[in-house]
């Protein structure tokens, strides 16, 4: 019975993580506690324990007497994201190259295989989850108790920003994803070689690739349209 309850809790946690990362649950959206309880066969106590765990990881916000909601993605969040991302990515990759174990490197290679499969399938949600897993493993490799929580929150918002701004149907986006996949392979090689400097440089390059795509969507080239001829003004 205990194993069954644990399985249902894990299923709920996995469901909420995937739904949040892929924007099935939007930033700021309230969770329907009654519906989730019924869907996963969980009483209020284990349900709220899952909520607390996900809140600690940055997926949810818990409010007194108002229930749980998906963590916000505001202008302030975006500003902080752009400020902190390059520093955190670089530090994590540098430490990953220093501390990675053979088992973790094997897991990273498997995650990269999943990412390539998601690229081939064309599914934006599968790609976002596979990319998140790849980088989550590098965070585990870094093995730094101070960096990991910040990095995990960064990955949540990176996935959500990507799902908001990227347009995978564009030919240019396909080229960008191909470059991202190549950079993943290079990151694996640098970590496996223990090359901290190269890993940090690749982290910067990888972040720049993402940032440029977001900026292209947020600040598109203006429309070049003729104004035409204004109608004559009557002097009568």
Q: Kindly state whether residue 226 falls inside one of the protein's structural domains.
A: no
Tell me, rounded to whole angstroms, the distance of Cα 83 from its chain centroid.
Answer: 16
* Final residue belonging to a domain, choices 37, 70, 103: 70
Do 104 and 185 lie in a common domain? yes
**Would you state the torsion angle of the CA atoms of residues 81, 87, 93, 95, taken in this order, to the nearest 10 degrees?**
-130
Domain of residue 7 covers: 2-70
CA Rg value for the chain = 21
Q: Kindly state whether residue 64 falls inside one of the protein's structural domains.
A: yes
Do 146 and 210 lie in a common domain? yes
Where residue 19 sits, what CATH number does that domain have? 1.10.10.10
- The pLDDT tens digits along the chain (236 residues) read 567 888 999 999 999 999 999 999 999 999 999 999 999 999 999 999 999 999 999 999 998 878 899 999 888 888 899 899 999 999 999 999 999 999 999 999 999 999 999 999 878 889 889 999 999 999 999 999 999 999 999 999 998 988 876 554 456 678 888 999 999 999 999 999 999 999 999 999 999 988 877 776 555 555 565 655 655 665 55
Do 153 and 132 lie in a common domain? yes
Do 81 and 61 lie in a common domain? no
């Amino acid at each position: 019975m205990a194993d069954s309850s644990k399985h249902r809790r894990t299923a709920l946690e996995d469901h909420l993580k995937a739904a949040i990362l892929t924007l099935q649950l939007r930033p700021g959206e309230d969770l329907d506690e009654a519906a989730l309880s019924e869907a996963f066969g969980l009483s209020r106590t284990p349900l709220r324990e899952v909520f607390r765990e996900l809140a600690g990881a940055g997926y949810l916000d818990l409010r007194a007497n108002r229930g749980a909601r998906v963590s916000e993605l505001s202008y302030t969040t975006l500003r902080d994201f752009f400020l902190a991302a390059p520093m955190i990515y670089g530090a994590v990759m540098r430490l990953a190259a220093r501390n990675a174990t053979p088992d973790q490197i094997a897991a990273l290679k498997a995650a990269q295989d999943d990412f390539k499969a998601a690229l081939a399938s064309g599914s934006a949600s599968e790609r976002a989850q596979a990319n998140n897993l790849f980088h989550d493993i590098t965070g585990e490799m870094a093995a730094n108790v101070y960096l990991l929580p910040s990095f995990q929150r960064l990955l949540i918002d990176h996935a959500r920003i990507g799902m908001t701004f990227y347009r995978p149907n564009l030919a240019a986006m396909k080229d960008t994803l191909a470059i991202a996949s190549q950079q993943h392979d290079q990151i694996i090689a640098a970590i496996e070689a223990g090359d901290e400097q190269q890993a940090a440089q690749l982290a910067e390059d990888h972040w720049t690739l993402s940032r440029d795509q977001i900026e292209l969507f947020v600040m598109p080239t203006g429309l070049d349209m003729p104004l035409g001829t204004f109608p004559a003004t009557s002097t009568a």
